[in-house]
Amino acid sequence: MSKHNPQPTKPIDEVYAADDSMISEYVERAARPMPDMDSDLVQFYFRDIRPISSPLSAETERLLAHDVQLGQQARQRLQNDPNLSEEDRATLELMVEIGNRARQELIMANTRLVVSIAKTYQGRGLSLADLIQEGNLGLMKAVDRFDPDRGVRLSTYATWWIRQTIARAAGDSGRTIRLPINQGQRWGRLRRIFEELSQQLGREPNYEELAAAADLTVEQVQATLLAAREPMQIDELAGDEEDRPREDLLADTESELPEQATSRQLLSEAIERLLNMLPQREAEILRLRYGFEDGENHSMAQIGEIMGYSRERIRQLQHEALHKLRMLDRNMQLAEYLD
């Protein structure tokens, strides 16, 4: 599978050495008001979602996502280069601010998606407010990892992250203690702060940092996390691995990565338009291999049993079919999605 390296619209070195007009542009954009994300989440979604959550055009979304990427690069430059001049540091700090604002705009524009997905998980032990909180964490992760140059919209990419965070929270709710409303709100707020500090610091915050950001005592933070039974985060914050539950130390090898899910979806859409241009035998192999036939991805050995060929022959035919697809329409950029 070929690698794809995103190319920001304005490379960081270009912005870093920007002229006065470019600096003025960043100053003007940085002066725009940023929506308040610290207000009560439920109140925000159901009172303010209509005027704030409006769809973005593909081009606007792409430009904002590039701003997020540039902000991330600028933050790394600030952290790793101790010899910056005051002027250079000011420019990079401005880029970080632009990236933060672009991130907020992308989050705001996709809040309806969080609500719609959260509603499908109601009745599984968590309130809608908690489901939305979890989904919002997934949305933030998606925005931070989104690559606008892959040709997929953020909503498509974010859906995987949102579903993952909500599904895990809903699955865990059966073994958690139901918290009082005020305690549950505090727990949700700590989860959001934990994610935000992790992004800002480049590592997981400790108890003291969480408490300071949440305006709570360390004891209150510890009590809330313990009551909510968040063993993975509590153990990470405490830095004690000896008492960590064994299952929390195991990697999740069953979940498909978002990049894999996105690539597979794009592949499905692209191949579907071209399958009729292939010989029937080769088209059938691809349908079985990628789940077009029955929704299940079949191994080469399974396809060989179905069609009466050896595994090696199926591999050869699949290779030929994928090669033909690449030749049929190079403009569809299938190469980065095909093995």
Sign, CA torsion 55/59/63/66: positive
| Tokens coding 100 | 């933060």
Residue pair 58/89 in contact by the 8 Å Cβ criterion:
no
The string of DSSP codes covering 49-65 is: HHHH--PPPHHHHHHHH
The predicted structure's pLDDT at residue 175: 44
**pLDDT tier for residue 31 given thresholds of 50, 70 and 90:** low
Q: Please give the CATH number for the structural domain made up of 258-337.
A: 1.10.10.10
Delimiting residues of CATH 1.10.10.10 domain(s) in the chain = 258-337
Q: What percent of the chain has pLDDT over 90?
A: 11
The predicted structure's pLDDT at residue 98: 92
What is the rounded average pLDDT of the residues 185-202? 75
Whether the per-residue pLDDT at 321 is higher than 80: the answer is yes
**pLDDT tier for residue 121 given thresholds of 50, 70 and 90:** confident
Q: Please give the CATH number for the structural domain made up of 180-239.
A: 1.10.10
pLDDT tens profile 227-272: 654 433 333 444 444 444 433 333 343 444 444 454 455 555 555 6
The predicted structure's pLDDT at residue 68: 93
Delimiting residues of CATH 1.20.120.1810 domain(s) in the chain = 7-175
Q: What topology does CATH give the domain 7-175?
A: Four Helix Bundle (Hemerythrin (Met), subunit A) (1.20.120)
Whether the per-residue pLDDT at 207 is higher than 50: the answer is yes
| Tokens coding 219 | 């004891």
pLDDT tens profile 144-190: 988 888 777 888 888 888 888 888 787 655 444 444 545 556 777 78
Find, among 329, 4, 339, the residue nearest to 151 by Cα: 4
How does the average pLDDT of the chain come out, rounded? 70
Buried b / exposed e along 82-118 (16+ C-beta atoms within 10 A): eebeeeeeebbebbbbbbbbbbbbbbbbbbbbbbebb
Q: What percent of the chain has pLDDT over 70?
A: 58
